[in-house]
Amino acid sequence: MLIRFSVQNLYSFDEKAEFSMVAGKTQSHKDHIGEGFRASDPRLLKSALVYGANAAGKSNLAKSMFLAQQLVLGGMRIGAELPRLPFRLRSECLAAPTTIHFELLLGDSAYSYGFSFVASHIVEEWLVRIGPASEKEVFRRKGKATETKIEFGSSFISNAKDRQYFEFLERGTRPNQLFLTEAVARNVKAPYSSVFDWFANKLTVIFPHTELNQRESLIRSDAALRSNYDEYFKAFDLGVAGVRVVETDIDALMPGMPEAMKNDLRSQLGPDKAIEMVNPATNAKIIIMKKEGGELVVLRLIILHEDEHQTSIEFDIQEESDGTQRLVDLIPALIQFQNHDKVFIIDELDRSLHPTLSRTFFEVFYHRSNSRAQLIATTHDLDLLDLELLRKDEIWFIEKDRRGSSRVYSLEEFKPRFDNDIRKGYLLGRFGAIPIVRKPQGLGW
């Protein structure tokens, strides 16, 4: 589970901005707190909503987590510059390092993992196990553009042979590569692999235009997923009878494809495997699969509706509303929440969704999710700003100060009464994080 996240000197964040999932003193909605904690563990919230004006930095919070995930999982090519956009409204920030930091609860252990970097190299990187009374460093790295120096905690190295191996890894880690990534690639186990696994298999960041990876292939092969789609579409009252995937001959959708390109696709694809590519004629993503015998087909996602005679009528997914397409990509999150301790960051949850559907999404999450699953979303949906739905410590705001720097803070700092109309108070500006709009008379209309 995510305990805390902080970021400094990245995108619209100048000074350190910290976001926390640690439960406050609020007594309402006790079922919104995860379960199975030891007395020494922090009590962690299962959800959070982040509000703010346009361009306040909400999406940048999600983008910062996504950037960290990409650096951990993807690594860096030799000589490549580390991707970063430092805060540009203060000249000192251009040369100063960017810092990203996570605190995570993994099983029965809490860890602090973070790194600072400039374009050319990792300046600092650390992994620390946080105990009830003390902290133990797994490793701490100090880096320059030409070399990497790492101190290893003796508690996590059992013998001289292991130390020799870690020193070998130290010498082999490039200045622009995270040591965590390098260590796991070299088969180093826990706690390195445990932290890496959180980024690889627990954290998912969904942006407004993110599509479920190879969704056609996934839906085609998973009958349980298709059944879940049917259930959720009915619950959301979209008039959708179901989903299915059909196969279309590749020449019907992409006439004139050179035979050499087809042969190249056949060589890349194993039996019943699929590959995603862009149709040059329409610029749309398509999924191509090779059948037995080498035949290439395009997988198409079909949404079923019923006519007045209850006969199923097929609609291509592209013919559906933006809201229906958005739910096709979001519903798998609700399904995964049921049996897994996943952490989903959803930027602009309400994009193309009716407010009732956004609220239902959260209600389903609370009702069906695993005791350690977490849902964090940015939104403009004021109907969710309701203490009947959320705890005070689950509501967060982002706003920019006069220097253009984003700051993050919780509703709990204001200590509003439970029976207060939070939505009204927010619109009146009591909590900040709203746009200041000039009156129409001043716009020269």
> Of the candidates 355, 346, 349, which has an alpha carbon nearest to the alpha carbon of residue 383?
355
The C-alpha atoms of residue 128 and residue 137 are separated, in whole angstroms, by 4
pLDDT surpasses 90 at 392:
yes
pLDDT surpasses 90 at 47:
yes
Where in the chain is CATH 3.40.50? 1-208+347-445
In CATH, the number for domain 1-208+347-445 is 3.40.50
Read off the pLDDT of residues 213-236 as tens digits, 9 standing for 90 and up: 778 888 888 888 888 888 888 888
Average pLDDT across the chain, whole number = 89
The C-alpha atoms of residue 387 and residue 395 are separated, in whole angstroms, by 9
User: What residues are paired with 409 via a beta bridge?
Assistant: 397
pLDDT at 409: 95
pLDDT at 442: 61
Label residue 46 by pLDDT band (50, 70, 90): very high
Enter the tokens of residue 351: 């994009």
Taking residues 45-57, report their average pLDDT. 95
pLDDT at 374: 97
pLDDT surpasses 60 at 132:
yes
Label residue 358 by pLDDT band (50, 70, 90): very high
Number of H helices, E strands in the chain: 11, 18
pLDDT surpasses 80 at 254:
no
Task: Please give the backbone phi and psi of residue 178, each rounded to the nearest 5 degrees, phi first.
Answer: -70, 135
pLDDT surpasses 60 at 429:
yes
pLDDT at 445: 53
pLDDT surpasses 90 at 103:
yes
pLDDT at 440: 61
pLDDT at 124: 97
- The percentage of the chain sitting over the pLDDT mark of 90, rounded to a whole number, equals 53
pLDDT at 383: 92
**In 3-state terms, what secondary structure has residue 366?**
helix
Give the CA-trace dihedral at 88, 410, 345, 384, to 10 degrees.
-120
Read off the pLDDT of residues 104-117 as tens digits, 9 standing for 90 and up: 999 889 999 999 99
Tell me the CA distances in angstroms from 397 to 151, 170, 364, 430, one per residue in order: 38, 41, 24, 12
Read off the pLDDT of residues 173-206 as tens digits, 9 standing for 90 and up: 999 999 999 999 999 998 999 999 999 999 999 9
pLDDT surpasses 60 at 443:
no
Read off the pLDDT of residues 304-337 as tens digits, 9 standing for 90 and up: 998 888 888 988 888 888 888 888 889 889 999 9
> Of the candidates 58, 127, 150, which has an alpha carbon nearest to the alpha carbon of residue 407?
58
pLDDT surpasses 70 at 437:
no
- Other CB atoms closer than 10 Å to residue 36's CB: what's the count? 12
- What is the secondary structure of 294-361 as a DSSP string? S-EEEEEEEEEEE-TTS-EEEEEGGGS-HHHHHHHHHHHHHHHHHHS--EEEETTTTTT--HHHHHHH
Give the CA-trace dihedral at 178, 179, 180, 182, to 10 degrees.
90
pLDDT surpasses 70 at 419:
no
**In 3-state terms, what secondary structure has residue 200?**
helix
pLDDT surpasses 80 at 292:
no
Taking residues 140-150, report their average pLDDT. 89
Read off the pLDDT of residues 56-95 as tens digits, 9 standing for 90 and up: 999 999 999 999 999 999 888 988 999 999 999 999 999 9
- The percentage of the chain sitting over the pLDDT mark of 70, rounded to a whole number, equals 96
- Other CB atoms closer than 10 Å to residue 370's CB: what's the count? 16
pLDDT surpasses 90 at 17:
yes
Comparing 182-196, 252-266, 335-349, the range with the smallest average pLDDT is: 252-266
